[in-house]
Structure formats: structure tokens, C-alpha cells
Structure 1
Amino acid sequence: MATHSELRDFWERRLEGDWTESGVGYRALGRSFNTWMYRVREEVFLREVSRMDPGGASVLDVGSGTGFYTRLWERLGVGDITGCDMTDAAVERLRGRFPDHRFVRQDAADLDAFDVDSFDAVSCMDVLFHITDDGRYTSAFGEFARVLRPGGLLVISENCLQRPEQRGEHQVNRTLEWIAGTADKAGFDMVRRVPMLMLMNAQVDAPAAWRKVWGGALRAVTLTEPTGWLAGAALYPLERRLVRGRREGPTTELVAFRLRGQG
């Protein structure tokens, strides 16, 4: 597995060269397909977070990337948004794209730019499974608990496997049991878990044969941007129905927690 320094360099290079949905998403599937995929993510995030009534919250968006979720927090009408990312490439561009918000270079496992009890809500989307070191992953949950006010909302996306853990150089897909246990030790109660995607992403929590077949099919139909756009357009209406009708899925899920204590 890559070290933390190697991971930061990897993402610095990647976002410097591709500051788009494909740069922060499933790059092998191309920009056009990722654009459709992120439309589904957007719908799920807005639906679920609005149900948890963030109100006029002060929000920290960890791993802001292109600012996709920063924009969604704006649409939810929260009062104050701060963002951070581990790369200079993202932070510099985010400051230009969102001049009314504050952005700093911070890693999820070390949020020392922020004081205790600074925020009502924290989001960390499509970041945690890229933390390959378990100690740093655990530290990230500790940092979320530190900067959140008691009763605060934590919203993450994760690949909550109910199959054995999968470890790669730049990504670790951990088990639901391990993730829930780590959150619990940091002082969080899980309050919501729903699929963000069903078919438009790697099937990490499906049988190996299906993972291979479906992954190959997705890569084949997204070999070019025009075919990727058509594939995304075809899957989009089905994907919207599937994420509304399932309680869990074979790929990325949105998980919400509340920090224990007086809210």
C-alpha cells in the first residue's frame, strides 16, 4: 500500500491534471459517464441530508475536491461553509470557485486548523476509502468528533462491505462492522445508511464473478466519451429508481452519524 506521502502526491498530480468529476470519481469510466453518476449522488445527498435538517448549520466539508458537495451544502441553505483538501491543487482552485467560503489545506486525519466544537455538521464524501492506513482512518473519526459540536451531524460516503475487506495501493474497502465500530469508539451513533449508487460504480460488495463481469461491461461501454455519455444516460433513470428503493447496495453508500452528547 502507498504511504500517506505517496497518496498525497498521487492526488496532487491527479487533481492538478484533471479537476473534474472524473478526476475525483471513477476515472476509468471517463468524464461523461461520471457526470451522470454524480447526478445520482447529488440527488441522494440532497434528499437524505435535508431530512436530517441541517438548518443554518456551520459546515466543514472535508476532502472538498472540486467543490461538488460544497455546492450541495449551498443549495441546502446552510449558514457557513468551510472546506479543506489535502492537495494544493484543489485548495487553490476552490478558493477561486467559491470566494465566499474558506478553504485550507488539511488532511482528514489531522484537522488542526479548526478548534474544538467548531461545526454543526461535517461531510467527508468519497475520501475515507482512500485512506489506506487504519490508524489514520481512526484518527479521522477522532478529528470529526473533536471539531463537531455535541449532537452534530457527520455525513460520509463509504463502501460498507459485508464481505471480506479489500486492500489496494490507493484504496481500502473496509467492512461495515469495522467502520461502525470505529465510529462508535469515536463517540458517534449511526443514524442512516442508504445506497448512493447501485449499478453506476464498481460492485465492490458483490460476488467476485459479478464484480468482474459488470466492471468489464462498464469499462467497455465507456471507452469513448460519446459512448460513456450514452451509457450514463441509459442507466441514469434506472439508477435513480434503484437508489430510492433499496436500503443498501453493492457499492458506495451514504452514511450519517450523530455525535453523542447534548445537542
Structure 2
Amino acid sequence: MATHSELRDFWERRLEGDWTASGVGYRALGRSFNTWMYRVRQEVFLRELSQIATRGCSVLDVGSGTGFYVRQWERLGASAVTGCDVTDAAVQRLADRFPEHRFVRRDAADLGGIDADTFDAVSCMDMLFHITDDERYGRALAEFARVLRPGGLLVVSENCLQRPERRGEHQADRTLEWITAAADKAGFDVLRRVPMLMLMNAQVDAPMLWRKVWGGALRAATVTESTGWLAGAALYPLERRLVKGRRESPTTELLLCRLRA
């Protein structure tokens, strides 16, 4: 398991060299495929948040990366968005891309300098599973609770395994039971959990054989940017239907949580 410093350096190098959808997404599948994948993510995020988020809300987006979800909060009518990222590469570029918003370099587990009870909503997308240390994960949730107003909304994407957890150097795929217990300890109730993707991402919660076969098929289909674009275009309409029609996902899910008053 990489240390916090090593993880920060990893993301600094990665985003410095590739500040695109592939830099923050499933890099092995290329930029073109990731662009299609993020279209699905966008639709799920906007569909779910439009039902619960209040126009004019103040938002903290943690792990802003390229600002993809900052843009989605704008579409939802957020009045002010503060973004933070652990890398200088992201913060500097985000400030140029979104001059109307504020961006700071902060770690999710230490939001020092950000006042308590400040935000109506906190989003932390596609990032928590990259916190490989369980204690730091818990501290991140506690920090989200600290900066949210009572009754505030927490929006996260996670790989909620219903199989045994899996850990690597830069990623820890935890169980649904562990994640919901950690959220509860930090003061959050999970309101809703829905698939964010079904086939267009690593099948982390699928049987080993399917995980390897489908993963190999995706990598083969995306060996070049042109084939990746075609693969994404072919899967996109199917993926849109699947994320609407299924209750469980073998990959990334969206969790909407409420901070208890």
C-alpha cells in the first residue's frame, strides 16, 4: 500500500501529464472511451441530484481533478462552488478554467482552513477508493461532516463491493457494509445508492472470470483512440439503459447521503 505522500506524488505526476478524462478516469482505456464513459456519469449525476439538490446551494467539491463535477454543479444551479484537490497541477488549471469559483489545495482528510458548517452539499467523486488507508478514509468523512451544515448533502461515488474487499497500491475497493458503517460513524444516513456505470468500467464486484474476460475485451477494443471512440459509442446507449434499469452495479455506484441534524 502506498503512503499518503506517494499517492499525492502519483496524482501530481498523472494530472500534470494528462489533465483530461483519461487522466482522472480509467486511463488504460484511453481518452476517447473515457469521454463516452463520462457522458454516462454526467447523466446519472444530473438525474439524481436534480431530484434532491436545491438551486442556489453552496458546494464543496473534493478531488476536483479536471472540474468535471464543478461543471455539473453549475448546471444544477449551485450559487457558489469551492473546489479542492491534493495536486498543484489541478488547482492551478482549475482556477484558470473556472475563474468565478474558488480552488484550494487540500487533502480530503484535512480540510484545514475551511470553516465548519459552511456548505449545503459536498461532493467527492471517484476519489474515496484511492484513499488506501482506512483511518484517513474515516477522517475524510469526518471532515465532510464538519464543513457541511446540519442536514447537508454528501454525494460520493464508490465501488461498494458485496464480495470480499480488494486492495492495490493506489486503490482500495471496500465492501458496502464497511462503507455504510464508516458513513454512519461520521454522522451520515445513506438516502439512495444507484449504479453510475455498469459495463464501461472495471468490473470490481464481479466473479473473477467475468472480470478478466470483460476487462481484456475492453482493453482490446480501446487499443487505439479511434477504436476506443467506436467502442464507447457502441456501449453508450446500452449503458444508459442499464444504469436506469438496475439496482446494483458490478462497478461504480453513486451514493447520496444526508448529514444528521
TM-score (norm 2): 0.99
Per-residue CA deviations over 1:133-175 (Å, capped at 9, x if unaligned) read 0000000000000000000000000000000000000000000
What corresponds to 2:60 in structure 1? 60
What corresponds to 2:81 in structure 1? 81
Quote the Cα distance in structure 1 between the aligned partners of 2:3 and 2:137: 13
Superposition map of 1:101-140 within 5 A: 101-140=101-140
Contact kept in structure 2, 1:110 and 1:143, CA below 8 Å: yes
What corresponds to 1:144 in structure 2? 144
Displacement, 1:22?
0.1
Opposite residue 183 of structure 2, the aligned amino acid is: A
- What is the alpha-carbon root mean square deviation over aligned residues? 0.5
Quote the Cα distance in structure 1 between the aligned partners of 2:52 and 2:77: 13
Quote the Cα distance in structure 2 between the aligned partners of 1:172 and 1:54: 32
What corresponds to 2:218 in structure 1? 218
* Secondary structure, counterpart of 1:35 in structure 2: helix
* Secondary structure, counterpart of 2:50 in structure 1: helix
Quote the Cα distance in structure 2 between the aligned partners of 1:81 and 1:130: 23
TM-score (norm 1): 0.99
Per-residue CA deviations over 1:89-118 (Å, capped at 9, x if unaligned) read 000000000000000000111111211101
Superposition map of 1:14-25 within 5 A: 14-25=14-25
Superposition map of 1:1-263 within 5 A: 1-261=1-261
Quote the Cα distance in structure 1 between the aligned partners of 2:171 and 2:189: 25
Quote the Cα distance in structure 2 between the aligned partners of 1:127 and 1:201: 15
List, as ranges, runs of 4+ consecutive aligned residues in structure 1 with deviation greater than 2 Å: none
Displacement, 1:56?
1.2
- Unpaired runs of at least 5, structure 1: none
- Unpaired runs of at least 5, structure 2: none
Quote the Cα distance in structure 2 between the aligned partners of 1:178 and 1:65: 26
* Secondary structure, counterpart of 1:154 in structure 2: strand
Displacement, 1:247?
1.0
Give the total of aligned pairs: 261
Contact kept in structure 2, 1:54 and 1:121, CA below 8 Å: no
Q: Percent identity between the aligned chains?
A: 80
